[in-house]
Chain A
């Protein structure tokens, strides 16, 4: 165990001398490309599909978001280059989020089903109240809008 940590430490110390700016730019390009793919899907591809298919796009967005989060934490915040015990004190508590997200979204879904079955309400279409000022926003009196 000690030997493993020491090798890591020496690697770390060697790296410190010359901070790798190429790795920074590589991470930047990865983040930029992922964001562009997300936007292309969000703007041009997803609107062509029915709302029932939205869940699949959302899963895709979650994967992309997770990838971006990994690169920011590992490279920009340099966590990947810290020693293993330290990484674990961050990574293990973060696992709580898995339960947190799963449990609460399930809860929300269950609430929706309960409300729809026990107190259904008539959802009718309404006119949108949002104003779309022709001259840009600053020329519209907010009092008139509300």
Chain B
């Protein structure tokens, strides 16, 4: 990676990565591109259906509960907590990558552990939110909420909500699994023997992507 490049270096003459990136990391980028188009297709079909509907449920009304506070009316407070948890775990992930750059094994272990904790916290929040909505009568094919103007809402709202947040939650779940594997490998000194922590960087790219998708899910479902 960190070669010193002579001024007349031919980038495409072979013998080195013309993008100055390790192969696996480049492929992770292209995988994330394809994943972005999958999420994009989901979110845009949601947008298309929403644009074709005369009215839609009001997110301030639907997402207004908080754990252990009964029916306190706190619109968007819980989801902002979830957003904060995910942004925070993204920060600890970059700090893990930064420690990896300095070949600081204990730093990587520490920050990966925090990242995993953040991921699990996010998944727990989502599990609570889904359970709560389920008990309110919302599920695939069942929408108990009315539109903002009091008219009858179709099940499109719940179908898209559970499908897209579920798909995202599954990404978070697999990200947590990947991060746990990375933590174990770092703990065992696998990366020290390899001489670099590029695997942490690849896991990091995936984890930031999950955070990135949440930014869009958050806007599309909770703010619009």
Task: List residues of A whose CB falls within 8 A of some B CB.
Answer: 2-3, 5-6, 9-10, 12-13, 16, 19, 21, 24-25, 27-28, 31-32, 35, 38-39, 42-43, 47, 51, 57-58, 61-62, 64-65, 68-69, 72-73, 75-78, 82-83, 85-86, 89-90, 93-94, 96-97, 100-101, 104-105, 107-109, 111-112, 115-116, 123-138, 140, 142, 145-146
Binds A, one of B118-126, B136-144, B164-172, B174-182: B136-144
Q: Give chain A residues whose Cβ lies under 8 Å from the Cβ of B132.
A: 137
Contact A136 B68 (CB under 8 A): yes
Cα-based distance from A35 to B21 in the complex (angstroms): 32
Contact B68 A19 (CB under 8 A): no
Q: Give chain A residues whose Cβ lies under 8 Å from the Cβ of B199.
A: none
Contact A130 B98 (CB under 8 A): no
Q: Give chain B residues whose Cβ lies under 8 Å from the Cβ of A105.
A: 44, 47-48, 51
Q: Give chain B residues whose Cβ lies under 8 Å from the Cβ of A42.
A: 60, 75-76, 222-223
Given contacts A10-B5, A42-B222, are A32 and B84 in contact (CB under 8 A)?
Answer: yes
Q: Give chain A residues whose Cβ lies under 8 Å from the Cβ of B144.
A: 128-131, 145
Counting from the closest, the 8 A-B pairs by CB-CB distance are: A108-B51, A108-B48, A19-B98, A130-B144, A86-B19, A129-B144, A125-B150, A111-B52
Q: Give chain B residues whose Cβ lies under 8 Å from the Cβ of A82.
A: 19-21
Q: Give chain A residues whose Cβ lies under 8 Å from the Cβ of B77.
A: 43
A-B contact pairs, 23 of them (CB 8 A): A21-B95, A27-B91, A35-B83, A35-B84, A51-B149, A58-B223, A65-B219, A69-B216, A73-B208, A76-B208, A77-B204, A83-B20, A85-B19, A90-B29, A104-B44, A104-B47, A123-B54, A123-B152, A126-B146, A127-B146, A129-B144, A131-B136, A145-B137
Q: Given contacts A21-B95, A123-B55, A138-B135, could you give 7 more A-B pairs where the C-beta distance is less than 8 Å?
A: A51-B148, A77-B212, A100-B40, A107-B48, A126-B150, A129-B144, A137-B132
Q: Give chain B residues whose Cβ lies under 8 Å from the Cβ of A101.
A: 44, 47
Contact A128 B208 (CB under 8 A): no
Task: List residues of B whose CB falls within 8 A of some A CB.
Answer: 1-5, 7-11, 18-21, 26, 29-30, 33, 36-37, 40, 44-45, 47-55, 60, 62, 65, 67-68, 70-71, 75-77, 80, 83-84, 87-88, 90-91, 93-95, 97-98, 101-102, 131-132, 134-138, 142, 144-146, 148-152, 204-205, 208-209, 211-212, 215-216, 219, 222-224
Cα-based distance from A135 to B72 in the complex (angstroms): 11
Q: Give chain B residues whose Cβ lies under 8 Å from the Cβ of A58.
A: 223-224
Contact A132 B223 (CB under 8 A): no
Cα-based distance from A44 to B5 in the complex (angstroms): 55
Q: Give chain B residues whose Cβ lies under 8 Å from the Cβ of A140.
A: 135
Given contacts A69-B212, A82-B19, are A146 and B90 in contact (CB under 8 A)?
Answer: no
Q: Give chain A residues whose Cβ lies under 8 Å from the Cβ of B97.
A: 19, 78
